[in-house]
Amino acid sequence: MADLLALLPLIVTTAAAIVVMLVAGFSLFGREVMALLTTGLFMFCFFVQAATLVSMPFFPYQQTFGSMLAVSPFSGVAGLIILACGGFSALASQTYFGHNKGYVPEFYAMLLFAACGMLLLTMAAELITLFIALEIMSLAVYVLVGADRERLLRAEAVLKYLMLGAFSGGFFVMGAMFVYGGLGTTSFAGISRVLAESGLFTSPLATAGFLLILICFLFKIAAVPFHAWVVDVYDGAPLPVTGFMATAVKTAVFCALVNLLLTDGSLLSVWRDILWYLCVVTLFTGNLIALGQTNIKRMLAASGIVHSGYLLIAIISADVTGASRTVIGFYLAAYALATLGIFSALSTLSGNDEKRISFADFNGLAKVHPYSAAMITVFLLSMAGIPPTAGFMAKFYIITAAFSAGQLVLGVLGLISTILSIYYYVRLIAAMYFTTPEDDFAITGLALAPAGTAVLAVAVFGFSLYPLGW
């Protein structure tokens, strides 16, 4: 019974997705009501997830369904972040589709289905279950990206994402097969048991398999050298979907990666050196790409690569205890708040058919919409890691964790990367505040996204006060 209770958020989210799917199928409600319904359902799922998390303060690494799933506080927190991302994305979509084409009622069902796949992904403790969860999430996100068939940019984005995503899925399946061939099991617990007995390098087949699985994960989190898709796909997707992809997808995939790598200390110790180099390359390549962008969406996509790099720092300096999971969870939450906030603000301000999207389009925004400009500034400062925002605390925890784990060089490189990244974040702030407005920034229609943006802006400050118990 406790097993089923731990799964309650997943069950509720799946049920919500099916309800929205049926409502969309019968065209019961209009565009506005669908957005409200979806937001409400996401909030309900969020509270179920929170209640599950609080009412079971001690999770003895519960094994459910023949150790295919495992619920831990970490997966619970990741679930909270994912569901919150879904809710705010639904709010932003309501505003976005007020002045953009391409709305289909099934959009909201896909948002919930994607969240359902992500929740499964955070709990998966077995490679085949993990793969199915990954595909549920990916399929739903492909549809979210490409639902608007009128625009070529969307078609290009969905084609690139679908093709490369299918390839990375193929790598994962092949890797899982090799791991099974080498170790005779696909469950995380079983893998760590076999590794504890014999060590990884006694089985070259399993080593090759883990390499293939790692490639799939690195593709999904857009780590260099598997980052080429991310800028075009994020640019081609509708703004709320880009926000959803940048936050929820990243949270779910990182949670699964951490669950796999930290099941057992030996698995991480084998990959630590490779991840170290990948992490450094990711940080600086991401910064270089972001420096050269003139389009805000593309800049945020490139900065997403950099944030994946910071999370990789946390993974590299992790040990098997819970503390490193806390740091990663905190960073994911802080990053999600700021990113969702800025995409929510852009959904409102971008205007008809995303016409305002480059840095120059936002010249002088502060003189016309001072509150919006102030909130965007807060989000950008949080992403750059300026105190007293949540982003600063998150970076602080990660760099401290790197130093205390003895990864001095990595910590210093992380700091240098932070300083570099300030340039492209502040560039937008400077454009908003220190130039004269050329545009009237007219916004049409009643909108819910500004409310979501305001909540997120407050949360960016509030969350930085959240004490991390270590």
Residue with tokens 């979907």: 241
Task: Print the binding letters for residues 178-217 with another protein: x by CB under 8 A, - otherwise.
Answer: x--xx--------------------xxxxxxx-x------
Segment interacting with another protein (CB under 8 A) among 135-143, 246-254, 262-270, 333-341: 135-143
Closer residue to another protein in complex, CB, 176/332: 176
206 close to 182: Cβ distance less than 8 angstroms: yes
116 binds another protein (CB under 8 A): yes
- State yes or no: residue 271 binds another protein (CB under 8 A): no
Q: Residue 288, exposed/middle/buried by CB under 10 A (0-12, 13-18, 19+)?
A: middle
Under a CB-based contact definition with an 8 Å cutoff, are residues 108 and 37 in contact? Answer: yes
Q: How far apart are CA 134 and CA 118, in angstroms?
A: 7
Residues in CB range of 99: below 8 A, 6 or more apart: 351, 352, 353, 443, 444, 445
Nearest alpha-carbon partner for 124 in 69, 77, 63: 69
Q: Which is nearer to another protein, 203 or 363 (CB)?
A: 203
Of 139-147, 270-278, 334-342, 451-459, which segment contacts another protein by CB under 8 A? 139-147
At closest approach, how far in Å is the CB of 68 from another protein?
4
- By CB under 8 A, is residue 434 in contact with another protein? no
Site for another protein in 150-179 (CB under 8 A): 178
Q: Which residues contact 159 (CB under 8 A, 6 or more apart)?
A: none
125/311 with CB nearer another protein = 125
110/270 with CB nearer another protein: 110
Residue pair 143/90 in contact by the 8 Å Cβ criterion: no
When asked if residue 290 is in the footprint of another protein (CB under 8 A), the reply is no
Q: What angle do CA 155, 139, 358 make, to 5 degrees?
A: 40
Q: Is 372 in the site for another protein (CB under 8 A)?
A: no
Task: Return the structure tokens found at 331.
Answer: 């960073």
- Part of the chain binding another protein (CB under 8 A), chosen from 101-109, 244-252, 398-406, 459-467: 101-109
Phi/psi at 436 (5° precision): -90, 140
Residue selected from 5, 47, 106, 173 as contacting another protein according to rule CB under 8 A: 106
Distances (CA, A) of 145 to 89, 140, 286: 13, 9, 22
Q: Is 159 left (phi over 0), alpha (psi -120 to 50) or beta?
A: alpha
Whose Cβ is closer to another protein: residue 165's or residue 309's? 165
Among 33, 61, 101, 451, binds another protein (CB under 8 A): 101
> Total number of residues binding another protein (CB under 8 A)?
47
Q: Which stretch binds another protein (CB under 8 A): 112-120, 234-242, 322-330, 434-442?
A: 112-120
Interface pick for another protein out of 73, 102, 265, 437 (rule CB under 8 A): 102
Smallest gap from Cβ 389 to another protein, in A, equals: 36
Closest CA to 132 of 203, 59, 186, 78: 186
Buried b / exposed e over 407-421, threshold 16 CB at 10 Å, is beebbebbeebbebb
Q: With respect to another protein, which residue has the nearer C-beta, 292 or 445? A: 445
| 109 binding another protein? (CB under 8 A) | yes
- Name which of 154 and 395 has its Cβ closer to another protein: 154
Residue 230 makes contact with another protein by CB under 8 A: no
Q: Which of 3, 33, 40, 149 binds another protein (CB under 8 A)?
A: 149
**Residue among 133, 237, 245, 336 that touches another protein (CB under 8 A):** 133
Distances (CA, A) of 234 to 97, 245, 399, 455: 18, 8, 28, 24
* 66 touches another protein (CB under 8 A): yes
Q: Is 117 in the site for another protein (CB under 8 A)?
A: yes
Amino acid at 11: I
Q: Per-residue x/- mask for another protein, residues 26 to 65, rule CB under 8 A?
A: ----xx---------------------------------x
Among the residue ranges 146-154, 243-251, 297-305, 419-427, the one whose residues contact another protein (CB under 8 A):
146-154
Contact residues for another protein (CB under 8 A)?
14, 18, 21, 30-31, 65-66, 68-69, 97, 101-104, 106-107, 109-110, 113, 116-117, 120, 126, 128-129, 132-133, 135-136, 139-140, 142-143, 146-147, 149, 178, 181-182, 203-209, 211
